[in-house]
Amino acid sequence: MKTIRIANEKKRDAQVGFEVIREKSDIQNVLQNGLDHRNVRILKSTIDNEPEDLLRQYGSPLELGQAILTQDPEIDFEKVGMFVSGVKKVFIDSNDKVAYKVNRSEVVYNPDGSEKEERELSSSEANINTDLSPVNWSGRMVPKDKAIRMFVFTRSYQIKHVNGLTFDFLYDMAKQLQESNSLMLIGSGAKGTGPLVFSNGGTSYRAFLEGRVDGDKYCLILHLSNLELKDIG
């Protein structure tokens, strides 16, 4: 279980755990004969058989079209259809060679989907479990019915206690949030308004805490968003 250092509204902090909770579906997909199915990756084509590469090899669309009719160069009969496993992502250049030095950029879009700017992709450092500053409450409450219309939540984690003391610590948080029927904006920095980064070079997120209690049980959920909905009408 991963850990996060989080502080409450009184600036008292503790290191607790967080993880994704996935419920197993009761629905089971089977084949027509009733046997279990499995997902596999199959090689569709190779670099040498891509349209751009074939056109480069034959020089003109006419020559390529004639070759397709007589030779089937678009299919590698020795490789296409093979099962693929253990793959890794690499970047390639215009000549289909592995690129060992890549300049990555970030494109910012306007609310209407048009491109606003392209800038150098900044390298961010993880900040959820540092010794310098915990993840802090901002004091900004967002009503639940308003939050779901303002933000797109891309992932959620359950915050979990690691001992008896942190149980009480998190239970009080969850109880306070349930009574307010709101989400609490939490984040980096002294004011708790900075973005959270969960791994070096990872995406920056706005984070919101949701709390629920039922008797002596609690549920504390960390919702993450990197997209805000705006009315452009």
pLDDT of residue 47: 81
In angstroms, rounded to a whole number, what is the distance separating the alpha carbons of residues 169 and 17?
13
DSSP-assigned letters across all residues of 136-154:
EEEEEEEEHHHHHHHEEEE
Residue 136 has a pLDDT of 94
> Which residues have CB under 8 Å from 30's CB, separation 6+?
36, 37
Please list the rounded mean pLDDT of every run of 10 residues in the chain (233 residues): 91 92 80 86 85 85 88 86 88 84 83 86 81 89 92 93 94 95 94 90 90 95 88 54
63-92 residue pLDDT tens: 888 888 888 888 888 888 899 888 888 888
Look at residue 169 in the predicted model and tell me its pLDDT: 95
pLDDT at 71: 87
DSSP character string of 5-49: EEE-TTS-EEEEEEE---PPPS---B-TTS-B----EE----GGG
Specify the pTM.
0.67
Specify the pLDDT at position 188. Answer: 92
Residue 232: its pLDDT value, please?
A: 52
* Torsion sign over Cα 79, 84, 86, 88: positive
pLDDT of 231 reads: 60
Using CB atoms within 10 Å of the CB of residue 98, give its burial: 0 to 12 exposed, 13 to 18 middle, 19+ buried.
Answer: exposed
- pLDDT computed for residue 4 by the predictor: 94
2-22+124-228 is classed CATH 2.40.290.10: yes
In the chain, domain spans: 2-22+124-228, 42-84
Residue 229 CA to residue 231 CA, distance in Å, equals 7
